[in-house]
Structure 1
Amino acid sequence: MNTDQAGTIKNYLKAIRLINIEDDKCAFETGRIPIRQHINANYFFAQTDVSTLEKIPHPAPRRQYVITLKGKLKFTVSNGETFIIEPGITLIANDTAGEGHTWEIVDGNEWERIYIPLEEDTDDYFILD
């Protein structure tokens, strides 16, 4: 059960959303997604490979949730800002055009994650902080 230090049930998971901004740049927003929210997705897949896109600028190939199971990463968006992703923080990749983002592993050498692609016009249920 997802509870805070006082023992009350929290109704949200921490999330960071990558977004496209002007001049083909990418930025991020911090927020949350509600727990027990049904996501309109047809499939998911897992990945452990870290050799292909680490430190190479790229946009997301599709709108998708990225759920980190193992690993701690520093993401850099094309506007120059950075953030950390680790288990417990859901990444919503919405930067499907432009320069995109880079990432690098900052603790260990593994990144185990699950991708949940979102249908074209599906709400991502992100709530901005």
Structure 2
Amino acid sequence: MKAFRIKNDTFGKSYFEEGTLPEHFDLSARRFFLMTEIEDYQRLQHQAPRYQYVVTLKGKLRFTTSDAKSFIIEPGILLIAEDTVGEGHSWELIDGEEWHRIYIVPEPDAPDGFLPSDFS
């Protein structure tokens, strides 16, 4: 499954990596919740409130990290948010009026299973 992971560098700047999750990845999770509302503060640059997976069910969004680079999330693409300190990220809806998503909160030390794409 295609995925993007947002992380922080040692200076607190956020950046993203493109990659995948393996076909049979088993995540040890603590919580799961659904969100459909959009609050204005979420569109501004912010940190992830916790290490979490975001599964988009409806909507197409452009995420921008503090290094000013962007990527697109839509149904079928997983977001792993690990930028819980520093400058954070922002997003904007670029298609549709709603963003329906599921948050999955892993156990604190659970491996994320992310396999970065090889850009060489």
- Give the TM bin, normalised by the shorter chain: over 0.9
Cα distance in 2, alignment partners of residues 67 and 53 from structure 1? 20
What amino acid does structure 1 have at the position aligned with 2:78? T
Give 3-state SS (helix, strand or coil) of 1:37's partner: coil
The structure 1 segments of at least 4 consecutive aligned residues displaced by more than 6 Å after TM superposition are none
Matched, 1:20 2:8: yes
Residue 28 of structure 1 deviates from its aligned partner by 0.1
Contact persistence 1:74–1:85 (CA under 8 A):
yes
Match of 1:30 among 6, 18, 24: 18
Counterpart for residue 63 of structure 1: 51
Q: Which has the higher contact order (CA 8 A, sep 6+)?
A: 2
Pairwise mapping of residues 1-129 of structure 1 onto structure 2 (< 5 A)?
Answer: 13-129=1-117
TM-score for both structures, normalised by structure 2: 0.93
Count residues with an aligned counterpart: 117
Which residue identity lines up with residue 85 of structure 1 in the other structure? I
The 3-state SS of whatever aligns with 1:43 is strand
Mind listing any 5+ residue stretches in structure 2 that lack a counterpart?
A: none
Q: Could you give the per-residue CA deviations for residues 80-106 of structure 1, whole angstroms, max 9, x where no partner exists?
A: 000100001000001110010000100
The residue aligned with 1:3 is none
Counterpart of 1:68, as a letter, is: T
Secondary structure of 2:109's counterpart equals: coil
- Give the alignment's Cα RMSD to 1 decimal: 1.0
What SS class does the counterpart of residue 103 from structure 2 fall into? strand
Q: Is the 8 A contact 1:54 1:104 kept in 2?
A: no
Greater Rg over alpha carbons, structure:
1
State the identity as a percent: 50
Supply the distance in 2 between the matched residues of 1:90 and 1:28 (Cα, whole angstroms).
13
